[in-house]
Amino acid sequence: MKLLLSSLMLIAVVHLAGLSVTGIRTVAAFSPVAFPSTKSKHAPIQPLVLSMARKEDEEDDEALALTDDDWRAFRAKLVMGEKASAAANEKSAEADMDGDLDGIGSLFSEDFASEDTSSSLDEVLTPLDPSQWAYDSGDIIEQGAVILGGIEQDFGFGLRQQYFHKATILVLDHGPTFTKGVILNRPTDIMLEDDVNPGKKWRLWYGGDVEGFAQSSLRLPDITCVHSLTNEVATKASIPIINGIQWTTFGNAQQLVKKGVADVKDFWVFVGYAGWGPGQLAGELTRKSWYMVATDSQTLLKELARLGEGADPRDAGLDTWSLLMKMIGRKKTADENTGGFDDLMLKEWSFKHLLSEAAGGGAGRQLRDPQDFNKNPELIESLLRRAAEANRDSVVGTFLRASCADRSPFLLENQDFHKSVVLILSDEEAGSVGVILNRPSTKGLEIKVTDPGTGAKKAVMIPMRYGGQYAVKGSE
């Protein structure tokens, strides 16, 4: 009986010690004092087992101490390990079904070696080095996560909000009422002169469409300075995003440079941001407008450094998006959606909004809001007077053809005029009126007519066409 009890006690102690293997830190509470002495001949075994448990616990504490700095890396290892195991099992099952009983033949098959095979291990994760990782985090929205522009939704960003197409967005803050992020892969070649540190210039990045470059002159744009500085002065003036990446205001960044604890090149300066209201981002994830990604800070910092070393703004940072898509196992999807209409429209947008005027682009050009003309009556009177004094023949009845220049002026705005044919109906001093002829629609207008021969009434469907943006239902 004593031998049986001693054996049970040994099993209990081993079981308790085994808890340390799972990372539970309660093992330390079970010290030798917690176990009363026993007259069993096997009692001396207990301290030995407990000392082993303490050793294992110390090793676990050391491992946990390494991962506490970035618990997301620990979670990533678990997620990617599970995906790799699932992919390996799937591949093994396919090999068995093909008659390869030992599974060895599949290791040398062309399908397994090809990185284009959707079930291959390469599609689970493609690390750049052992410290870098990324995985698809599903619908988990959190600070430090990355949002990739989706390409599987019904309607993409080709005709509107092109800056979101294949965007790589870092989430700065997430709460129940608001989510804020900055687009990481939209560098510009526009430089901002420093009024605090004379002679210094800051390279700007397009951070998003909220409070950005197009912000009204009555309100300053929102500027976020991302960095990886570790000195105490910089960290106190910053807010952490993920391990190794922080953000601060432009004013703080200027002061850090002035104090000599940082350099202009230490910061990535984002003008504007992307924002979502309550539940908005979650709904867009359901419609596959985005992919949620968890990744390490080194992957993001390396991409920011690469883009900051003179990357051409007209490329719109597409390589960064493609890299992360490959790392999360969506390489095939990314490859199948390269060079299409949405890509071309994004590059057109980048040419106009990211490339400076000095480099031949449209960024930095001070365009005047058309509404501002209404606030300058002298200008309007001058235009009307010049129109009245001009001796010209009437253009009523003539046709206008949209510009046939290599770069259409109607790609990003007023797209209804792209390759349009317009018939001028009236030409007055106050303005001219015309209709677009080559924009048919699937809609029609049903009217009742009377047959002059029989007197019978019948319904006739008249095809409707889009004639222009004015007097259309829903517009002012």
Which of 208, 159, 201 is closest to 183 using CA atoms?
208
Residue 88 confidence (pLDDT): 57
Residue 448 confidence (pLDDT): 87
Residue 379 confidence (pLDDT): 58
Residues facing 292 on adjacent strands: 138, 147
Residue 50 confidence (pLDDT): 30
Residue 55 confidence (pLDDT): 43
Residue 271 confidence (pLDDT): 96
Rounded Cα distance between 231 and 257, Å, is 13
Computed from CA positions of residues 159, 163, 168, 174, in that sequence, does the dihedral angle turn out positive or negative? negative
Token pair listed for 214:
């197009």
Cα 172 vs. chain centroid, distance in angstroms?
12
Number of H-type helices and E-type strands within the chain? 12, 17
Residue 221 DSSP one-character state: P
* Residue in this structure with the two tokens 């992360």, named with its chain if needed: 324
Residue 222 DSSP one-character state: P
Query: Residue 276: in which H helix or E strand, if any?
Result: strand 274-276
In three-state secondary structure terms, 19 is helix
pLDDT by 10s per residue, the chain, length 476 = 443 333 333 333 333 333 333 332 322 332 333 333 333 333 333 332 333 333 445 444 444 444 444 566 656 666 656 665 665 565 555 545 444 434 334 333 443 333 444 434 444 444 456 678 999 999 999 999 999 999 988 788 988 899 999 999 999 999 999 999 999 999 999 999 999 999 999 999 999 999 998 765 567 899 999 999 999 999 999 999 999 999 999 999 999 999 999 999 999 999 999 999 999 999 999 998 999 999 999 999 999 999 998 789 999 999 999 999 999 999 999 999 999 999 999 999 999 999 888 887 777 543 333 344 344 566 556 666 666 666 566 788 888 888 766 667 777 778 888 888 888 888 887 788 898 888 888 888 888 888 888 888 888 888 888 888 886 555 44
Contacts of residue 188, Cβ cutoff 8 Å, sequence gap at least 6: 203, 204, 205, 206, 313, 353, 354, 355, 356, 363
User: Using H for helix, E for strand and C for coil, what is the string for 107-176?
Assistant: HHCHHHHCCCCCCCHHHCCCCCCCCCCEEEEECCCCCCCEEEECCCCCCCCCCCCHHHCCCEEEEEEECC
* Residue in this structure with the two tokens 């209990």, named with its chain if needed: 12
